[in-house]
Every structure is written in C-alpha cells, then in structure tokens.
A and B are shown apart, each in its own frame.
Chain A
Amino acid sequence: MRENLPFAIFCALVTGALSVPLLGLKLVSEGTSLAIEGADAETWMLISGGMLAVFLTQLFKSQLSNGLSGIKQSLPANPVSGLSDQKRGQLEKGLLFLVIGLAIIWPFWASRGSIDLATLVLIYVMLGLGLNIVVGLAGLLDLGYVAFYAVGAYSYALLYQYFGFSFWAALPIAGLLAALFGFLLGFPVLRLRGDYLAIVTLGFGEIIRIFLNNLTSLTGGPNGIGSIPKPTMPAVQFEPEFDIVQLEFSRRAKEEGNLPFHEFFGLDYDSATKVVFLYVLALILCLITVFVIRRLTRMPVGRAWEALREDEIACRSLGLSRTGIKLSAFTLGATFAGFAGCFFAARQSFISPESFTFIESAIILAIVVLGGMGSQLGVILAATLMIILPELAREFQEYRMLLFGLMMVLMMIWRPQGLLPMKRPRIELKEAA
C-alpha cells in the first residue's frame, strides 16, 4: 500500500489536470473577448470526488484486484455455456423468431410516438446488419459506411425531385446505386491493410459529404432536399375497373391517380395509420435483410468472407481471390445501406448532409461492436439499446455521445466479442456409405 502512494498521488493530480481546467473553468464570450466563469459547487464536488476515487483505487490497487478476481471466479463465465451446441443453436433460432413475433404484434397496443421510434430502430438494425457483413464477417473496418446510406437517401430524393420517381421505383435503384458506389470505392481500397483501409474509407465518406454540401445546384447543399413523398401502399382495385392503385396515407391524395388509404377502405381518417404503415414497411425490409444475410453466411460467399477475416494468406493459398471476396462484401454491405437510406429519406421527407456525418458511421459501427461482430441477434439488440436508451431518459440526452464513446472503449477492453457473440452454425454431416 505504501509503495503505491506516490503513484496514487500522481494519478490524482493527473485526474485534476484532466478535469479542473476543462470542467471547472468555463470560457464565455463577453463582447469581443472572453471571460472565465467558475463552475457550480456540484461540478467541483464531482471533480474532487473523482480525484479522491482515483487516489483510493490506485492506493488499494492490489487489494481491489484480489477482490475482483474473487468475484469473477464465483460468477459463471457464460450463462448459456452449459448448454450443448445444438441446444444453443435452437435457443438462438427460437429467440430470433420470438423477437420477430413481438415486432409484428407490438404496434397493436403501442403509442404512435413509440412506433415512430421503433421505425428508427429498424433503420439502424438494417444499417447494422449491412455493416456487419463488411466489419463483422469480412473483417474490413469501414468507417465511411454512412456514405452508402447517403447515396441511397439522395438517390430517392433526387430521382423524385428531377424525374418524379415514386418510392417503389426508387428503392431498387437506390440499392443498385449504393452497390455501384460500394463496388467503385471497394476497388482501390482492396490492397490496403486493415487500419489504412479504415482511414481511407473514412476519407471517402467525408469526400462524399463535402460534395453533397457543395454541389448546391444539384443537392441543395446544406439546405438539403425537402418534401420527399412518403411511400405508398400498392392495392388492387376492382371498381370502377380492375387496376393497381397506390394508396397514400394523407387525408387527400397528392399525386394524380393515387387514392387516400382511408377512403379506399372506407375508414375514418387516422393520422396514426401512416406511422404504422412506415413501421410495417421497415419491418418487412428488415426481415428481408435478416433472411438474406442469414442465408449468405451459410453460403460459400459468406464462408469466404469469414475465411478472409481469419487468414488472408491461407485464403489465397486455397485459390480464393481476395479481390472478389472483398468486393462482394463491400458491394452487398453497401446495398443494404442504400435500401436503408432510401427508406430514411421517405420517412423523414427531408434530408441534408447533416444526417450523414462521420458520427453516424461511428454509431452504426458501435452497434455492430456492441452487439457482437457477425451476430445478427446481437446487432438487433444493440440497435434497440443504442436508439431507445437515450430517448427514454431525456435528461440523459446531453451525455449520450459521451457515454457512447466511453461504451466503445469499455466494450473493447472487457468484451471485444460483443454482447451476443456470433454462434457458429452447426453442420450435421451425412456420411457417404
């Protein structure tokens, strides 16, 4: 304990240096110059409390670590590790269906606000699952994923603005354009080593945002693009003649030839149906994403992604072309971001480059990291936590990004495999006679 004393004092002083100037003193503008205000008593209490805590933990470091390891030993390492592999696989499958089932019946009693929020969660689930292909499965750290999201969103917005495309016509194009961008950006970065690849993708993401911001005549620059129409629901009409009509969810149809939803079904107008419809649409898109990616991971291409993450040289020695594998991961990952972006534009009705900053990429990455790289259920759980928690506690809002950064660090230290690490698919062998 005594030998820890100098270091403990040093650490307490460092803590002071970290907190006193930046938290304790506050710069305020006063006319053309600056002045300093002291913080309130509470902040000072917090600072001194922090210093004291650091001092004490450093002083009693050895005792503390003994105690901690004791607790660790008494806890089971993994609550489900007792189950056999097969049981665990079934459990996970069951859980996935349970989540999907809940997501389907839930809007019947939920409030309008929470359904709206859930739609947002679903967008992030889609983004997380898409990025999971690139980061979790293929092991390529893409820090510019938001660029593909932006491509999807702007595809719809611009196609609508200049050519009058509907959501349904724009959706596949948005996916394709994002895929094309993924392919084009993927090409040059393939040869790069992991961390360089991360920075280059970050650079690409920023470049796309700068262009969106400055090509004012095309994209509206920082003002963005507004009044993007919401998706319509296609329906079959028998009278006066057999036809497929698009139903809108507003009181009156804006587009020529479309009908309002409530008139078509002879209901009273309810503004909540619009919200529910968006939610259902997002859920369908999400389910398709889940299904496609689940299949992909059990197909040769999905296995090749993981093999590449595990050992690139071994892949090459077995005749796998790393270019092809990386490109497919980049392209498919981007496609899902494109779909998500298109839906996002339709939901918001308004987009601007503000929505596609690096922080957005970092949030999506954090979802993947928190959930567990490669794990679908994990991504769904993480997206839900990340989007809903800050909404639940409004006073929390201010600390949201702070905690979020901290969470990324702590997860890397304590649980780099994520909350729900990926479970390997179990393959039953049929032996040839």
Chain B
Amino acid sequence: MLSVNGISMQFGGLLAVNGVSLEVNQDEIVSIIGPNGAGKTTVFNCISGFYRPTAGAITFNGQAIHNLPDFKISRLGMVRTFQHVRLFNKMTVIENLLVAQHRHLNTNLLSGLFKTPAYRRQEDKAMERAAYWLRKVDLLEFANREAGTLAYGQQRRLEIARCMVTEPDILLLDEPAAGLNPRETKDLDELILSIRHCYNVSVLLIEHDMGLVMGISDRIYVVNQGTPLASGAPDDIKANPDVIKAYLGES
C-alpha cells in the first residue's frame, strides 16, 4: 500500500536520511526504530510531504506522492501525529475533531449561512463520528474542554482520534508512547491494535518503547545515522547483532 524506495534527504551539507526504503501492506503495523537522531522523524516528514526528499520515490495506493504538497497527501488517506503533540489548543476537544472532518463537510458558504437541511445532516454526521471516537479514546466527558487544558496522555489520545475521524487508510504515529505512564502505554497498545483490526487502517510507527514495538509490530525497520540497518520480524530484529551494536555502541 505504501512503498518508500531509497529516499534521501539532504539539509545543506548534512545527509539526514540516506537511501531508506520501506513497505507497508494493507492492515499491517510496521515500526521504524533507531537511536535518537537517526533520522526517523525526517523519514516521516518526507512520507507525509512536509519535506520533499532529495532522492528516491514514494508511492501510496499506486500513486507517486513524493512531489505532492502535505495537505494533498493527507487527503489521499494518510494522516500523522507529531512527536510533540500538535493540537488546536484554544479550541475545544470536539472542535478539534470537527476541524479534521472538513473534507466530509459541505464547505459551501451559503448553505452554512442558511443552515440548509443537507448542511445540517452533514454536520450531525460529523458530530456523531466525533462522539464515537471520543468515547473510543475515553474523552467524551471532556468534549467541551479546551484541548490545551487536557493532561498529556489525553492530548496524545485526542491527537490519534483527530486522525481517525478523517477515516484514513494509513496512520503514521511519531513516538505515540513518549511521556506516557505504563498504564497509558498499555491502553495505547490496545488502541493501535483495534485501529488495525476494527477499521482496517495500517499503522506506521516510530517508537522508542521496545515493549510496545515488539508486542504489536508485524515488521520492524531499523535506521541508524540515516541509513537502513536491518529489517524483519520482531524476533529477528531482537537477535540481530548489528542492531544490538547500534543501540549499545561498540563495546
């Protein structure tokens, strides 16, 4: 479904990503791991269109996307979260979810100004979808709170819910467990699995929490200093001497 072929990203003299390839199939959970500064987030930024890779190709559902602007890629059904949560802080939780559904809403100004029945129907549907996901991530009671006032773990869940209301084909999660306590991490684990099972959404994940990664991933790619190091099933990765060396350093 998503295939990345040898992308590189150069900032001035710095080669942040060098020839990374990866593949995500329908209904798969795939992880990218690697030490800090390995260029994982840069790979994400290239895939989601925030950066334009300096070399290589990316196709999504058979369409080349590496030259598309970010918002068009997202409209094709690929959405992402961010390493540092990016919510619309001064807007309420429910508004955050409504903003995300703009594509499902009629944006015709006049129909909105006069509240035509068609407009109301769509608005109601968006509201239902939002309520559904709020219940799913256990935030229903906070629907009218400003998003910025939520606790950190709740903000993380809201960000995922905000992605899911767009009904994507693939979800990109950038360190979703960072800053979560063990209990919250476990909930996240279940949430990601159910996203795949119940909604047929593939997941591409960057994560440092090895327990989470090893537990839910179908396949894992390891990146070190911008270059691909290894890939395979979790058990293969655990046993791979190169990976161990990259994580623990030469010793």
Contacts and interface: CB of A to CB of B under 8 A. Distances in A.
A contacts B directly in the complex (CB < 8 Å)? yes
B127 A318 contact: no
Contacts of A301: 107, 109, 112
A310 interface: yes
Interface stretch (B140-148, B184-192, B224-232): B140-148
Interface string B76-114: 000110100011111110111011101101110100110
B169 interface: no
A311 B86 contact: yes
B162 interface: yes
Contacts of B86: 311, 313-314, 317
Contacts of A296: 109, 112-113
Contacts of B163: 318
Contact of B88 (A292, A314, A322, A431): A314
Contacts of B87: 310-311, 314
A400 interface: no
B144 A310 contact: no
Interface stretch (B8-16, B67-75, B193-201, B214-222): B67-75
A345 to B, nearest CB: 26
A318 B99 contact: yes
Nearest to B94: A427
A316 B131 contact: no
B242 interface: no
A311 B91 CA distance: 11
Interface residues of B, number: 48
B209 interface: no
Interface in A319-362: 319-322
B144 A314 contact: no
28 contacts: A292-B113, A295-B112, A295-B113, A295-B115, A296-B113, A299-B112, A299-B113, A301-B109, A303-B91, A303-B95, A303-B98, A303-B102, A310-B87, A310-B88, A310-B89, A313-B86, A314-B82, A314-B87, A316-B69, A316-B74, A317-B48, A317-B70, A318-B99, A318-B163, A319-B72, A319-B75, A424-B146, A429-B130
A301 B110 CA distance: 12
A317 B131 contact: no
A300 B132 contact: no
A142 interface: no
Contacts of A303: 91, 95, 98-99, 102
A431 B115 CA distance: 21
Interface of B: 48, 50, 69-72, 74-75, 79-80, 82, 86-92, 94-96, 98-100, 102-103, 105-107, 109, 112-113, 115, 124, 127-128, 130-132, 134-135, 140, 143-144, 146, 162-163, 166
B88 A300 contact: no
Contact of B79 (A317, A322, A430): A317
Contacts of A295: 112-113, 115
Contacts of B144: 85, 424, 426-427
A424 B143 contact: no
A310 B135 CA distance: 25
Given A311-B86, A430-B128, A432-B131, 17 more contacts: A85-B144, A303-B91, A306-B91, A309-B90, A311-B88, A314-B86, A317-B48, A317-B70, A317-B86, A318-B102, A319-B72, A319-B102, A427-B92, A427-B143, A429-B143, A431-B131, A432-B132
Contact of A313 (B50, B92, B112, B127): B50
Contacts of A429: 94, 127, 130-131, 134, 140, 143
Q: Taking each of A306, A318, A319, A429, which has the highest tally of chain B beta carbons within 10 Å of its own beta carbon?
A: A318
A313 B82 contact: yes
A103 to B, nearest CB: 22
Contacts of A85: 144
